[in-house]
Amino acid sequence: MHDLVIVGCGPVGAVAANLAGEAGLSAVAVERAVEVFDLPRAIHFDAHIMRILQQAGVAAEVVADTRVWRRSTFYGADGQPIRVHDWSDEPTYGWDAHYLFYQPALEKILRTRLARHAGIELRLGTEVVDITQNEDHATVTTRDVATGRTEELSARYVVAADGASSFVRANSRIPLVDGDFDEPWLVIDLLCERQLGRPNESEMFCDPRRPATRVPGPGTHNRWEFMLLPGETAEQVQRPESIESLLRPWVRMDEVQILRASVYRFHALVAQRWRDGRLFLVGDAAHQTPPFLGQGMCHGIRDVQNLLWKIAAVLRGAPTDRLLDSYQAERRPHVARIIDMAVAAGRDICILDPATAAQRDARMRRAAATGDLPRTTFQGMPPLQGGLFDGAGELFPQPMVRTATGHECLLDDAIGSDLAVVAIPGALEHRPDLTVPVVRAGGEAGLVTVSGEIDKWLDERDATIAILRPDRYVHALTRDDQQAARSVRELCAVVGRG
Ligand SMILES: Cc1cc2nc3c(=O)[nH]c(=O)nc-3n(C[C@H](O)[C@H](O)[C@H](O)COP(=O)(O)OP(=O)(O)OC[C@H]3O[C@@H](n4cnc5c(N)ncnc54)[C@H](O)[C@@H]3O)c2cc1C
């Protein structure tokens, strides 16, 4: 009996498998394709995702093959800026705020790194064709794509990371709720030795004659996306002469190698339920977003981090339902809210009527002047709400820390992935009975010594004590050591810790 079967080993399934390995679980990741999907889709992830990749033990390899993204300028119908996203003030959790990357390279690293975990098996060229659930396990039927041979796997839980047309979602008869957004865009990826535009900046052209965007990838990779106009077909815009004409303002065809030019429909869809007994939907199987905020894969990676520590706790004996139900309770509203932001951004970008575009440009410029621009994820992620939280829900910062032995490292590397309490000196002196590690911020006496960043963060929230979950979200914030002890006890009961 395995702890988990992970269906699909795209980026989300592969991060789930790495997190499962780090948590010491046994898992089989079943993937229909033999090779990593060779074309880039996602091109951006943010600092929180890098922090999760750090927890998954792959950040050092991943960061080596990225480009830091520093700014994004939006241009109006007149070709002049209407909004500049500059994220120098955004929380970075120990990393750069935003990264540009090449999805096939990320997926290869994630798969290769699985080999270090004896408990994780990757079965390529194998698809899941049936799942039945029993009282204490699920039976997953797989089929070898080459030979047709079938096999049954037993697992305590199933993580469905099988993408937008998820077999698992359909098998569990879980409908998708449609967010009423459906726009076709041509996505062109190419390699070019010449530096195009500023190296760490992207551009969004909100031109009603044809909305478009340009994003530099790592190395020589560059991406353009062009909206299809009414009456245009995918077949027409994918022709070489059409591609050449669209790219003419930036590059000559003799200096580029086109990797792909295909039309995608940008949707907004969220599965109605994310749990069916022992089975959990994650990633594109659970939601699809228009990519205007570059968050589709990021949502999926947040999903599996949220889910995996809870499954690990249940497998160690925690009571099941409250913990496992909190996955959907915490993640679904968060994803739905950010998809709404992406749809709102998309509706602004996809305006084709010149008069409406002029109104949008005037509105954006007014808002920029008064500091009243609509918030997007480029100003930081909203906190999680509901679920297990005791009144908090923000992600805790991740400064560099010095351990008791004088070693300097990022906070999560110093304190691992268990529950933790962070307190300023003196705040918890009367509670030596806490059963989780205590990090003393700013003092010399505790487990680690951390910079003033944490004191300031706590002070801004009128707190001296923060209770952290394994995913480094803040469960509770308080100044009261009795309340902290009570909140720790309650959290320990939910996650099955004595
Ligand atoms: C043009 C474009 C731009 C994007 N830009 C961004 C961006 O900048 N940032 C971002 O975060 N996201 C972005 N996205 C979204 C991102 O690419 C997806 O959200 C991400 O790939 C989803 O990952 P996944 O692992 O959930 O699904 P997938 O990548 O689809 O992987 C699912 C895997 O499951 C396998 N599978 C399916 N069925 C079975 C079965 N029955 N048995 C076994 N295996 C199965 C498939 O072979 C596949 O490998 C973009 C998407 C597009 C199209």
Residue 155 lies in a domain: yes
Summary mean pLDDT of the chain: 92
**Is 186 in the same domain as 256?**
yes
Residue 347 lies in a domain: yes
- Ligand 1 binding pocket, CB closer than 6 Å: 7-13, 30-33, 37, 41-45, 127-128, 161-164, 167, 187, 264, 283-284, 291, 294-298, 300
What's the pLDDT band for 446 if we cut at 50, 70, 90?
low
**Is 257 in the same domain as 276?**
no
Is the model more confident about 246 or about 446? Answer: 246
Residue 109 lies in a domain: yes
Strand order in the sheet with 66-68: 44-46, 98-101, 66-68
**Is 341 in the same domain as 313?**
yes
What's the pLDDT band for 455 if we cut at 50, 70, 90?
confident
- The encoded tokens of residue 414 equal 């110093």
Nearest CA to ligand 1 atom 51: 41
**Is 217 in the same domain as 289?**
no
In single-letter form, the type of residue at position 423 comes to: A
- The encoded tokens of residue 319 equal 């009571």
**Is 29 in the same domain as 163?**
yes
Tens digit of each residue's pLDDT (9 = 90 or more) over 30-80:
999 999 998 889 999 999 999 999 999 999 999 999 999 999 999 999 999
Tens digit of each residue's pLDDT (9 = 90 or more) over 274-309:
999 999 999 999 999 999 999 999 999 999 999 999
Atom of ligand 1 nearest to the CA of 37: 49
**Is 415 in the same domain as 300?**
no
- Give the pLDDT score at 497: 79
* Residue among 399, 445, 437 at smallest CA distance from 415: 437
End of a domain among 356, 381, 414? 356
Residue 299 lies in a domain: yes
Average pLDDT over residues 252-268: 94
Please compute, for residue 36, the number of CA atoms within 13 A of its CA located in the half-sphere on the CB side.
19
- Give the pLDDT score at 428: 79
**Is 277 in the same domain as 235?**
no
End of a domain among 249, 267, 285? 267
- Give the pLDDT score at 145: 97
* Residue among 372, 293, 373 at smallest CA distance from 335: 293
* Residue among 419, 403, 427 at smallest CA distance from 312: 419
For ligand 1, pick from 19, 99, 262, 297 the residue to mutate: most ligand atoms within 8 Å of CB: 297
- Give the pLDDT score at 378: 81
Q: φ, ψ for residue 86 (rounded to 5)?
A: -130, 120
| CA 403 / ligand 1 centre spacing (Å) | 39
- Name the domain count of the chain: 3
- Give the pLDDT score at 171: 96
For 132, counting Cβ atoms within 10 Å of its Cβ (0-12 exposed, 13-18 middle, 19+ buried), the class is exposed
Q: Which residue has the tokens 């390699």?
A: 191
- Give the pLDDT score at 2: 97
Atom of ligand 1 nearest to the CA of 225: 1
Cα radius of gyration (the chain)? 24
Residue 45 lies in a domain: yes
| CA 84 / ligand 1 centre spacing (Å) | 29
Residue 488 lies in a domain: yes
Tens digit of each residue's pLDDT (9 = 90 or more) over 327-355:
999 999 999 999 999 999 999 999 999 99
In single-letter form, the type of residue at position 465 comes to: I
| CA 458 / ligand 1 centre spacing (Å) | 37
What's the pLDDT band for 243 if we cut at 50, 70, 90?
very high
**CATH code of residue 483:** 3.40.30.120
Residue 425 lies in a domain: yes
**Is 51 in the same domain as 22?**
yes
On the question of pLDDT at 447 being above 70, the answer is no
Dist. CA 288–CA 164, nearest whole Å? 7
Domain coverage including residue 425: 400-494
**Is 211 in the same domain as 337?**
no
**Is 125 in the same domain as 202?**
no
- The encoded tokens of residue 25 equal 């679980």
Tens digit of each residue's pLDDT (9 = 90 or more) over 405-433:
778 889 999 888 889 898 888 887 766 66
What count of other Cβ atoms lies within 10 Å of the Cβ of residue 134? 10
What's the pLDDT band for 442 if we cut at 50, 70, 90?
low
Own/partner pairs, 270-273, CB within 8 angstroms, 24+ separation: 270/176, 270/177, 270/179, 270/332, 270/335, 270/336, 270/339, 271/169, 271/174, 271/175, 271/176, 271/177, 272/174, 272/175, 272/176, 272/177, 273/174, 273/328
Residue 361 lies in a domain: no
| CA 163 / ligand 1 centre spacing (Å) | 5
Highest mean pLDDT among 84-88, 111-115, 366-370: 111-115
**Is 147 in the same domain as 24?**
yes
**CATH code of residue 312:** 3.50.50.60
End of a domain among 356, 379, 408? 356
Nearest CA to ligand 1 atom 50: 42
- Give the pLDDT score at 438: 75
| CA 132 / ligand 1 centre spacing (Å) | 25
What's the pLDDT band for 377 if we cut at 50, 70, 90?
confident
Residue 465 DSSP symbol: E
On the question of pLDDT at 247 being above 90, the answer is yes
| CA 11 / ligand 1 centre spacing (Å) | 7
Dist. CA 340–CA 269, nearest whole Å? 10
Dist. CA 28–CA 282, nearest whole Å? 16
On the question of pLDDT at 100 being above 60, the answer is yes
Write out the chain in H/E/C secondary structure: CEEEEEECCCHHHHHHHHHHHHCCCCEEEECCCCCCCCCCCCCEEEHHHHHHHHHCCCHHHHHCCEEECCEEEEECCCCCEEEEEECCCCCCCCCCCEEEECHHHHHHHHHHHHHHCCCEEEECCEEEEEEEECCCCEEEEEEECCCCCEEEEEEEEEEECCCCCCHHHHHCCCCEEEEEEEEEEEEEEEEECCCCCCCCEEEEECCCCCCEEEEECCCCEEEEEEECCCCCCHHHHCCHHHHHHHHCCCCCHHHEEEEEEEEEEEEEEEECCCEECCEEECHHHCEECCHHHCCHHHHHHHHHHHHHHHHHHHHCCCCHHHHHHHHHHHHHHHHHHHHHHHHHHHHHHCCCCHHHHHHHHHHHHHHHHHCCCCCCHHHCCCCCCCCCCCCCCCECCCCEEEECCCCEEEHHHHHCCCCEEEECCCCCCCCCCCCCCEEECCCCCCCEEECHHHHHHHHHCCCCEEEECCCCEEEEEECCHHHHHHHHHHHHHHCCCC
For ligand 1, pick from 159, 284, 302 the residue to mutate: most ligand atoms within 8 Å of CB: 284
**Is 215 in the same domain as 285?**
no
Contacts of 486 by beta carbon, 8 Å cutoff, 6+ apart? none
On the question of pLDDT at 357 being above 60, the answer is yes
What's the pLDDT band for 445 if we cut at 50, 70, 90?
very low
**CATH code of residue 257:** 3.30.9.10
